[in-house]
Amino acid sequence: MLVLTAFFAGSSVALAQATQAPASPTLLVLGDSLSAEYGLQRGQGWVALLEARLQKEAPSVKVVNASISGDTSSGGRSRLPALLSQHKPQVLVIELGGNDALRGLPIAMTQDNLQAMAEAGRSAGAKVLLVGMQVPPNYGPAYTRQFADMFAAVAKANQAELVPFMLKGIADVPDASQWFQADRIHPVAKAHPIILQTLWPPIKKLLRLK
């Protein structure tokens, strides 16, 4: 009887310790084709490169890429609640909005969707990184400015980290054409290490890596 009592007591302690053990941190990427390896071989996109880097520097971090080519901010907003419930991320990277501009959707609608996603992430206990995009000058100066300001406004309202322009060093250089696929929208494989270099500092900060 004493042996059984000791066994069950020990099992209870082990179970309690297992229950209290911190889960491995999860980083969730919610994006579109720029994060979904569109036109690339698997493993060449910036998210895959991030996962490989974290395997070396912080192997306990799990990366979940929930990006879908062609997705809009509305699509991301509708998918996010289930993703948050399933993966319970510590960090949420939102890379959406570019397809909204390509479709000519109202900026106010995109901003409302981004705001809702940032709020949902924070409410679920995740730290948020908002990845901004810029549109070409042919959209007009007013639209171009308002679109860029939208990301900054959402980030400020939610105390989120912000990368103002995901394609910095790729789309804003004199030889930009060499960094893009034939559609002139999606970066080629050699551009993705640069994208990761742009996104790494805030990701490292949110994961509290040295």
Q: Which of 32, 33, 67, 192 is catalytic?
A: 33
Largest CA distance in the chain: 82
- Catalytic site residue 172? no
Which residue do the tokens 């105390």 mark? 159
Which listed CATH number (1.20.120.80, 3.30.1550.10, 3.40.50.1110, 3.40.190.10) goes with 26-206?
3.40.50.1110
pLDDT at 4 exceeding the cut of 80: no
DSSP secondary structure of 116-167: HHHHHHHHTT-EEEEE-----GGG-HHHHHHHHHHHHHHHHHTT-EEES-TT
Whether 112 sits among the annotated catalytic residues: the reply is no
Say whether 175 is catalytic. no
Q: What is the pLDDT of residues 65-99, one digit of tens each?
A: 999 999 999 999 999 999 999 999 999 999 999 99
Rounded average pLDDT over 36-59 = 97
Name residue 7's amino acid. F
Once rounded to an integer, what is the mean pLDDT over residues 39-59? 97
Please report, for the chain, the start and end positions of each structural domain, with discontinuous segments joined by +: 26-206
